[in-house]
Amino acid sequence: MFMGLDLSLSSSGAVIIDDNYKILQKQVLSTSSVGVERLYFLEEMLKGFLQEIVGNILLICIEAPAYGISEGNLFHLGQWAGLVELTLFKLGKKYIFASPSQLKKYVMGSGKGAKQLMLLKTFQNFYEEFEDDNLCDAYGLARIAHDYYLYKKENKKILVKKYQEEVLNKIHKAEKITNLGRVL
């Protein structure tokens, strides 16, 4: 199984897929709380989501924070991302990061595009329909985790498009440069 995590302070998306890209579980992690209370509830929801899963998640792909968000939100999103990393570390889960532009390129063929286009291209390219853009992004991230694991870690030949292979190679290169023991 493979997981995608689209981190957001308002509503994070989490999707788990199997070896055939079938969605096994999906959830929006959301709370109206703020500050430390928000972090507490989001962490509890994430842990609960992960504990409901029967089976082993081989790899998780987390969307790295986007540049250009306000400084205050970046700080709080950084806290949430750090808490996610710590939680995954404690649970022994392996993970990688994909930037927002890498996710868009992997799904759409281009690193740019509006949320509505991402929803449309996910349906056109992968035959999965989402109403929530956070779940849509999380699904794309789960596909990256799946393909990265098989292509880069298991050295299996899988069918990916050239632009998808470019994304996998960039993630792999970044992992080698910044690996702090967090992944495979």
Residues 157/160/162/168 CA torsion (nearest 10 deg): -80
CATH topology of domain 2-178: Nucleotidyltransferase; domain 5 (3.30.420)
Q: d(Cα 107, Cα 49) in Å, to the nearest integer?
A: 25
- CB of 121 closer than 8 Å to CB of 108: yes
* pLDDT score of 1: 92
CB atoms within 10 A of CB 3: 27
Domain residue limits, the chain: 2-178
pTM of the model: 0.86
Q: d(Cα 60, Cα 89) in Å, to the nearest integer?
A: 12
Phi, psi of 175 (to 5 degrees): -65, -45
* pLDDT score of 71: 52
pLDDT tens string, the chain, 184 residues long: the values are: 999 999 887 888 999 999 999 999 998 988 888 888 888 888 888 888 887 776 789 999 998 876 555 455 677 777 878 888 888 888 888 899 999 999 999 998 887 777 788 898 888 889 999 999 999 999 999 999 999 999 877 777 788 889 999 999 898 887 655 444 444 4
CB contact set of 154 (below 8 Å; sequence gap of 6+): none
* pLDDT score of 183: 47
* pLDDT score of 179: 47
**Sheet containing strand 2-6, strands side by side:** 23-30, 11-17, 2-6, 59-63, 95-98
Amino acid identity, position 61 = C
